[in-house]
Amino acid sequence: MDEMTVKALAKINIGLDVTGVREDGYHLVRMIMQTIHMYDLVTVTKSAEAGITMKSNAKYLPTNDDNLCVKAAKLLAEEFDLKDGTQIRLSKRIPVAAGMAGGSSDAAAVLYGMNQIHGLGLSKKQLMERGVRADVPYCLLRGTALAEVIGEELTELPPMMRCPVLIAKPPISVSTKYVYEHLDAIENPKHPDIDAMIADITVGDLHALGSHMGNIL
């Protein structure tokens, strides 16, 4: 196999709470994440020419070392001393700066695709351990999961009830850093009940889940 196209699924947060701030400045979170059937298409191709190259239909995205896809590809290429190169083609569909893990899911797709075309033999768990940032391991895991600490501690949950989801993304972008800095300025923010949401998902009660849903950000 010299080429593979992978659907990089978007995710939404069923619930998100921030429970504190570590000494290093990272915020402690508890969030329930769910993949949805919205996706980018990532094609990974083995090349006779060494190195990593990337192209995308989204002209506003970097295709150099600033892109998580390139970072993910270089991580595996260097670790396994790959002699063949890798070409990445990204067809972008997931809105950017929307909290939907588009960049992380693309990077996860690159890790998965490279593992297949280069025959690296890594398990899903081993790929997750090589995630280049917090959401990447989840994007390899997929499904319904509780993420804790700074998002890297994952616990699989029972599958979310099937239901239609409407995504509304206004034509603005706000950095995650900016959001967290201003969250710290809010006195006594209302915290969502993550445990109640987990209980609702466990028994399959969509209406109860709707009444408990919340995102502190």
Q: Which candidate in 11, 17, 106, 200 is catalytic?
A: 11
Q: How far apart are the first and last CA of the chain?
A: 43
Of residues 46, 39, 94, 88, the one with CA closest to residue 68: 88
Structure tokens belonging to residue 196: 């109640």
Which DSSP string do the residues of 38-54 spell out, in sequence order?
Answer: EEEEEEEEEESS-SEEE
Helix (H) or strand (E) holding 136: helix 135-141
Q: Which candidate in 17, 106, 135, 200 is catalytic?
A: 135
d(CA 140, CA 131): 9
Buried b (16+ CB within 10 A) or exposed e, 118-136: beeebeeeebbebbbebbb
Decide if 74 is catalytic: no
How far, in Å, are 2, 9, 27 from residue 39 at the CA level? 22, 4, 28
Mutual angle of helices 102-117 and 68-79, in 10-degree steps: 30
Decide if 11 is catalytic: yes
Of residues 146, 213, 152, 192, the one with CA closest to residue 18: 192
214 exposed, middle or buried (CB, 10 Å; 0-12, 13-18, 19+)?
middle
Residues carrying an active site annotation: 11, 135
